[in-house]
Amino acid sequence: MGLHKDRHGTYHARHKVPSRLQQAVAQVLDNGKSKQIWLKRSLGTKVLREANVRGKPVQMEFDQIIAKAESLLKQRPVRAALSDVEIKRIAEYFYAHEVAVDEEVREDTRGSDPVFDGVHRQLIESGVSFTSQFDPKSLTLEPGQGLSPRMMHKIAEDASFVLEAAQAALARGDVSFLRYELAELLEVFQINFDPASASYRKLARAVLEAEVKALKAIPLRNYGPFSVVEKRPHKAFISTVCRP
């Protein structure tokens, strides 16, 4: 969530501003625009691991901008607490979302292979000497042809890298690890919530546990059918889970 590659392969941190906040965010930024649709900043790297590290503080800045825009609107009352049922359902939604994202990649089957192929071709055309772990002929460039060995490796490697960090955060009780994702979830469920409250910390821990669970489950799908894939919850479900 929140990382994007441009056509040159450089990672950017970005956040889609909800339509109702676009004017307020433009006011917060004071950039002369009538509305701000995206918050975006280059992370200056083409390496995923570096992007993950650099992206966290940038996303925290985006969260602060969104929070300021929310305070301008004051459309929703601040809730002091959430019930255990609400926390459980939000965490379940997050787990379902993470698995559904992986499912979309497997249904399309291309993943980032087209980008990899494009960079590979540019390097060759530029006469740059390099070595590649994967044969370009093994890439999947058309939907439905099956995941390439590169994408299978990438899915497992990315999940393993983030899992290590997520488990460490969970062991420390570092609820700031998923600050960006929590902001997104509260927006989905239309909850205005005090981050200093005990319920916020309890929700953050439940979501972090769901993240670890998803990161453990996703690589296992490389070895066969995954019988507990949960599709993205319907909006009607969301609307009944948490009401201010």
What are the tens digits of pLDDT across the range 95-115?
Answer: 998 988 888 888 888 888 888
Q: Is 171 exposed, middle or buried (0-12, 13-18, 19+ CB in 10 A)?
A: exposed
Q: What is the mean pLDDT of residues 154-169?
A: 91
Q: With bands split at pLDDT 50, 70 and 90, how would you rate the model's confidence at 184?
A: confident
Give the strand pairing for 192-193 and 78-79.
Answer: parallel
What tokens appear for 63 in the block? 């969260």
pLDDT score for 231: 43
Residue 215: what pLDDT? Answer: 93
Mean pLDDT of the region 133-140? 87
Distances (CA, A) of 124 to 114, 116, 131, 132, 148: 15, 12, 11, 12, 21
Let me know: does 159 contact 210? Beta carbons within 8 Å. Answer: no
Q: Give the pairing type, strands 78-79 and 11-16.
A: unpaired
Model confidence, pTM: 0.61
What is the structure's pLDDT at 230? 43
| DSSP SS3 for 100 | helix
pLDDT score, position 72: 74
- Name the least confident of 66-80, 95-109, 192-206: 66-80
234 DSSP assignment: P
* Ranges of each domain in the chain: 1-75, 78-244
pLDDT for 226 beyond 70:
no
What is the DSSP code string of 3-35? EEE-TTS-EEEEEEPPGGGHHHHHHHHTSS-S-
Three-state secondary-structure class, residue 193: strand
- Is the pLDDT at 159 greater than 70? The verdict is yes
> Residue 38's beta-bridge partner residues?
16
Mean pLDDT score of the chain: 83
Note the pLDDT of residue 240: 36
The Cα–Cα gap between 75 and 63 comes to 17
Residues 6+ apart with CB under 8 A from 98: 210, 211, 214, 215, 218
Span 28-50, mean pLDDT?
87
Listed range (25-29, 37-41, 62-66, 220-224) with the worst mean pLDDT: 220-224
